[in-house]
Amino acid sequence: MMKRTPEGQKEILNPEAWERSLLHGLACEWEKSLWVLSPSHRKMMRLPLFSLREMEDRWGSWSGKKREISLSRDLVLNHSWDAVCEVLLHEMAHQFTDEVFAVVHEPPHGPQFHQACFLLRANPKASGSYRTLDERMSQESSSPQNKMMDRVKKLMALAASSNHHEADSAMAKAYDLTAKYNLDLLSQDADRNFASVFVGQPALRHPPEDYSLAHLLQDFYFVQGIWVSTYVPEKGKMGRVLEVSGTIQNIKLASYVHDFVRRFIHSQWAEYNNGKRLNRYRQTDFAVGIIEGFRAKLERQSKEKGKKEDSLSLMKIEDPLLRKYVAYKYPHTIKVKRGIASQDKNVLKDGRRLGERLIIAKGMENPGGSRGSGMRLLACFMDGLSIPWAFPGAAWTKTTDIPSSGNRVWQPGSRLSEYPRPRIQGLSLGF
Q: What is the 3-state secondary structure (H, E, C) of 268-321?
A: HHHHHCCCCCCCHHHHHHHHHHHHHHHHHHHHHHHHHHHCCCCCCCHHHCCCHH
**Whether pLDDT at 312 is above 90:** no
DSSP code for 57: S
Between 36 and 302, the higher pLDDT residue: 36
* pLDDT per residue as tens digits for the range 92-120: 999 999 999 999 889 999 999 999 999 99
Mean pLDDT of the 14-33 span = 94
Distances (CA, A) of 4 to 8, 61, 236, 307, 409: 5, 33, 11, 53, 27
Cα gap 213→235, rounded to integer Å: 24
Which are the contacts of 94, defined by CB distance < 8 A and separation ≥ 6? 62, 108, 113, 116
Closest CA to 315 of 195, 217, 169, 190: 217
Mean pLDDT of the 21-44 span: 97
Beta bridge partners of 94: none
**Neighbouring C-beta atoms of residue 279, cutoff 10 Å:** 10
CB distance 20 to 44 below 8 Å: no
Half-sphere exposure of 144 (CA within 13 A, CB side): 2
Give phi and psi for 24, each to the nearest 5: -60, -40
Q: For the segment 203-239, what is each residue's pLDDT rounded down to a tens digit?
A: 999 999 999 999 999 999 999 999 999 999 889 999 9
pTM, 2 dp: 0.80
Amino acid at 160: A
Evaluate if residue 393 carries a pLDDT over 50. no
Q: Is the pLDDT of residue 141 over 70?
A: no
Residue of 414 and 124 predicted with greater confidence: 124
**Structural domains in the chain?**
2-134+416-428 (3.30.2010.10), 137-410 (no CATH)
User: How many other C-beta atoms are found inside a 10 Å radius of the C-beta of residue 232?
Assistant: 20
Q: In whole angstroms, what is the distance from residue 188 CA to residue 97 CA?
A: 38
Q: Residue 395: pLDDT above 60? A: no
* 302 band by pLDDT with thresholds 50, 70 and 90: confident
Lowest mean pLDDT among 2-16, 227-241, 293-307, 340-354: 2-16
Residue 370 phi, psi dihedral angles, 5° rounding: -65, -20
50-89 per-position pLDDT tens digit: 999 999 899 999 999 999 999 999 999 999 999 999 999 9
Q: What is the per-residue burial (b if ≥16 Cβ within 10 Å, else e) of 24-62? A: bbbbbbbbbbbbbbeeebeeebebbbbbbeeeeebbbbb
Report the SS3 class of residue 19. helix
Q: What is the mean pLDDT of residues 189-211?
A: 91
